[in-house]
A and B are shown apart, each in its own frame.
Chain A
Amino acid sequence: MNIAHYIPLFPFLAFVINIFMGRRLKVASAYVSIAACVLAFIFSLLVFQGFSAGQGSYSLGTWLVINGKSLNFGVIVDPLTIMMLLIVTFIGCFILIYSIGYMHDDPRFSRYFAYISLFMSSMLGLVLADNFILLLIFWEGVGLCSYLLIAFWYERPAAAAAGLKAFITTRIGDTGFLVGILILFFACGTFHFTDLKSVTGPESLLTLAAILIFTGAMGKSAQFPLHVWLPDAMEGPTAVSALIHAATMVAAGVYLVARCFPLFSAHPMALQTVAVIGGISALMAATIATVNNDIKRVLAYSTISQLGLMMLGLGVGGLSAGTFHLMTHAFFKALLFLCAGSVIHAVGTQDIQKMGGLLSKMKITGATFCIGTLALAGVPPFAGFWSKDEILLTAWNNHHPILFVVALLTSFLTAFYMARLIFLVLFGSARSQLHAHESPLTMTIPLMVLSVFAAFAGFIGAPIKEVGMEAHGGSFLIMAISTVVSLTGLGLAYLLYIRRIVLIPVSSVSGLHNLLVNKYYIDEIYDYVLIKPCLRLCQGSFVFDAKIVDGLVNAMASITQFFSGLLRKTQTGLIQNYLFVQILSLVLLLIWLLKI
Chain B
Amino acid sequence: MIPLVYFIFLSAFLFCVGIYGALTRRNVIGILVSIELILNAANINLVAFNKYLGTPDGMGQVFSLFVIAIAAAASVVGLILIIAIYRDRKALFTDGFTLMKE
Contacts and interface: CB of A to CB of B under 8 A. Distances in A.
A583 B94 contact: no
B85 to A, nearest CB: 12
Contacts of B26: 576
B23 A580 contact: yes
B2 interface: no
A573 B100 contact: yes
Contacts of B22: 576, 579
Contacts of A573: 97-98, 100-101
Interface string B13-41: 00000010011111000010000000000
B95 interface: yes
A583 B19 contact: yes
A574 interface: yes
A583 B23 CA distance: 10
Contacts of A575: 31, 94
Contacts of A576: 22-26, 31, 94
Of the candidates A576, A580, A583, the one having the most CB atoms from chain B within 10 angstroms of its own CB is A576
B23 A579 contact: yes
B94 A574 contact: yes
Interface in B62-80: none
Contacts of A574: 94-95
A508 to B, nearest CB: 81
A580 B26 CA distance: 13
A580 B24 CA distance: 9
Nearest to A584: B23
Interface string A571-596: 00111100110010000000000000
Nearest to A583: B19
B84 to A, nearest CB: 16
A239 B40 CA distance: 100
Contacts of B97: 573
A583 B95 CA distance: 20
Nearest to A574: B94
Contacts of B101: 573
Contacts of B100: 573
Interface in A548-576: 573-576
Nearest to B98: A573
Contacts of B95: 574
A463 to B, nearest CB: 91
Nearest to A580: B23
Contacts of A583: 19, 23
A584 to B, nearest CB: 10
A573 to B, nearest CB: 4
B42 to A, nearest CB: 15
Nearest to A577: B23
A161 B74 CA distance: 77
B47 to A, nearest CB: 23
Interface of A: 573-576, 579-580, 583
Interface of B: 19, 22-26, 31, 94-95, 97-98, 100-101
20 contacts: A573-B97, A573-B98, A573-B100, A573-B101, A574-B94, A574-B95, A575-B31, A575-B94, A576-B22, A576-B23, A576-B24, A576-B25, A576-B26, A576-B31, A576-B94, A579-B22, A579-B23, A580-B23, A583-B19, A583-B23
Top 10 nearest A-B pairs (CB, nearest first) are A573-B101, A580-B23, A576-B23, A574-B94, A579-B23, A583-B19, A579-B22, A573-B100, A575-B94, A573-B98
Given A576-B26, A583-B19, A583-B23, 11 more contacts: A573-B97, A573-B98, A573-B100, A573-B101, A574-B95, A575-B94, A576-B23, A576-B94, A579-B22, A579-B23, A580-B23
